[in-house]
Structure 1
């Protein structure tokens, strides 16, 4: 199951909704049911705001009761379903019957459901169940241009595109840095942990380290340094790993990550791909925050899932997962901004660059 929450400009047809799915999910769904929830903008309004977007493997529809509980918490006014599959007509009919039964008993009140073989510009789609709709473009049509979808804009700003598959989407934060041998990374990590422990006993030194971190972010932004280039820069990797090896240092640096999200996202991803353990977990958490800051929230949950897999007891990961699953990004960012501010105040730092 994959969840995401976003908002877009007004969408007029199912073909436009389907075109937005790769950017809303972060990858192109295949053999999937995608449910999209909406909330009315007013008591008598015919306009709706996009809410949760959930993807379920067609072989895993047994989770629908769990999905129903999740959707109920959002107090939705409308739910659409999209079947993206190349299965034959007989298999598709069985799936449609199951979903229709789910809607009929009120488990998930799916207003309308469409089927499309794949999310591709110009691919035909058709309504498989739902009310009689007078507008023909809501009964059948073709997928709108995917690269022009409203939700694609943040990807294009970052020079990226949604991943082709879910596995690629999850592999985006996988640990892999071909520049260094594992033994070299272990040495660098031990140094980072040792130096972090030493630094945190000296408030004045902590302040200097965070100011240096601010300069690193500024240089990354000015030079448009790529993730791959950062993965090869031992000095920057070690300096950042040192900050991420200590809780106080991490929390003090968090303010700059939030305030300078574009370069911070690249730096934290480079560190997360390089190191393991606590350093990787903290890098993944701060990468998730930076991704939210650049409107790439679809990258946040895979990062947090990878962090939880790295260390089950990592507290910041568990603090962030709940709000991210609920789409409460602004609340999460505000809370962590304030937490970082309190730490920075102790060290005579300001949250924003002077």
Structure 2
């Protein structure tokens, strides 16, 4: 039995549980510990080939939530589900009890667990072992035989396709779930509360002025100027806060740049301006992600949620959807009814990252078409240098 991992990239064949385990940090964006991880698998017409779909994680102490997890996974209608218990803190009797509950849930049909494996932690070469299922005759039909499905060692993490994708963008899985969320819980240490309050007020007032000018301008020039301002901000970030040789980000220095943060705050103060520059987050995803994270770590309230939602869209555009999930959760904690964050989270949960970007860009294009006459757009297109 083999599994194919689809992430809008060339197909990768995962032959063993050890290879699947190696991909989990890259899929989640962090190294899960004291967790139960469920991987949904889908049949694509080939009897021995399955496609890896959504991956879900549950705190090992929250086994009581198993029916809710089962309900969520059932909505995907997976062919089968693999479960992985990751723990080095559970006493043996508690681990046995957890296994019993998973097995009973599988037997009752509450959750279609075909196989369950245990490992202490997800690191390269860490041993894993099969706890229950699949049947030996099913494993013997696989090219790798029963041995690597019953027990084995986790494949190199850095060679896993999910990790490679992160490495290509200068990223690594966070060491824990806590650290994945902590990326967005930092506070800007360079600005006092009084200064932040003043900046936020000024940004909102400027945003109102920009929106008013755009709505009163039939020529579309104010709208285009507003796009140019944010584009220049992203170009400034690219030129000054990315290392030219390594591409490494300089996030801490960006937190000191009050002028650029004020510009970003202006565009995140109103949903109208946020939606107007949405396409730039797809066109310049790395620069947008860095600037918007700095903005989210500087300001609070709906402004922060707007920045986090567009940060999420930026990293999705980079192929790093695993980085989007914590940002969207933090955004919704900040502003529970934040529409864009809730919509993005729902789409991400359903594995629709490509469709998410397409839908957001369609809405953005409609907004631009409404405010900029076609004749102006055509003139601008003709003035651009031809590649």
TM-score by length of 2: 0.85
Check 1:269–1:95 CA distance in 2 against 1; reply closer, same or farther (3 A cut). same
**Match in the other structure for 2:348:** 324
1:172-187 alignment runs, 5 A limit: 172-187=183-198
Residue number in structure 2 paired with 1:33: 36
Instruction: Establish whether residue 254 from structure 1 lines up as the match of residue 254 from structure 2.
Output: no
Give the Cα separation in 2 of the matches to 1:307 and 1:345. Answer: 29
Shift of 1:215: 2.2
Q: What corresponds to 1:74 in structure 2?
A: 76
Paired position in structure 1 for 2:107: 104
Q: 1:266: which partner in 2? A: 290
Within 2, Cα distance between the matches of 1:219 and 1:341? 25
Alignment correspondent of 1:125: 128
Matching of residue 18 in structure 1 with residue 21 in structure 2:
yes
Whole-angstrom CA distance in 2 between matches of 1:168 and 1:41: 36
Match among 141, 146, 160 for residue 152 of structure 2: 141
1:165 match: 176
In the alignment, which residue of structure 1 is the partner of 2:223? Answer: 206
* Alpha-carbon distance between aligned partners in 2 of 1:250 and 1:312, rounded to the nearest angstrom: 18
Would you say the 8 A contact 2:63–2:98 is kept in 1?
A: no
User: Which residue pairs with 2:339 in the alignment?
Assistant: 315
Distance in 1 separating the partners of 2:252 and 2:318:
19
- For the 8 Å contact 1:196–1:246, the answer to whether it is kept is yes
For 1:23 and 1:327, locate their aligned partners in 2 and report how far apart those are by CA, in whole Å.
15
Equivalent in 57, 60, 65 of residue 59 of structure 2: 57
Which range moves more in the overlay, 223-232 or 158-167?
223-232
Of the structure 1 ranges 64-73 and 188-197, higher mean CA displacement relative to structure 2 is found in 64-73
Q: Which residue of 2 aligns with 1:346?
A: 370
* 1:154, distance to aligned residue in structure 2 (A): 2.5
Deviations 1:193-241 (A, max 9, x none): 0000011111233321211211222343345253323222111111111
Given candidates 300, 317, 326, the residue that maps to 1:276 is 300
Structure 1: gaps of 5 or more residues: none
Q: What secondary structure is seen at the aligned counterpart in 1 of 2:14?
A: coil
Cα distance in 1 for residues equivalent to 2:106 and 2:172: 34
Secondary structure of 2:185 counterpart: coil
1:153 is matched with: 164
Residue 215 of structure 1 aligns to a residue whose secondary structure is: helix
Number of aligned residue pairs: give it. Answer: 348
Native 8 Å contact 1:154 1:294 kept in 2: no
| Bigger CA radius of gyration | 2
- Distance (Å, rounded) in 2 between the aligned partners of 1:6 and 1:170: 25
Name 1:236's counterpart in structure 2: 260
Shift of 1:119: 0.7
TM-score (norm 1): 0.93
SS in 2 for 1:56: strand
> In the TM superposition, what whole-angstrom CA distance separates every residue of 1:113-156 from its partner, at most 9, and x where no partner exists?
11001111111111111121331111111111112211002221
The equivalent of 1:197 in structure 2 is 208
Q: Deviations over 1:42-101 (max 9, x none)?
A: 2x4321111111111111111111111111111111211111111343322221111111
Give the Cα separation in 1 of the matches to 2:346 and 2:128: 35
Q: Give unmatched runs, 5+ long, in structure 2.
A: 215-220, 243-248
Match of 2:232 in 1: 215
**Runs ≥4 in structure 1, deviation > 3 angstroms?**
5-8
Hey, what's the Cα distance between the residues in 2 that align with 1:28 and 1:45?
Answer: 32
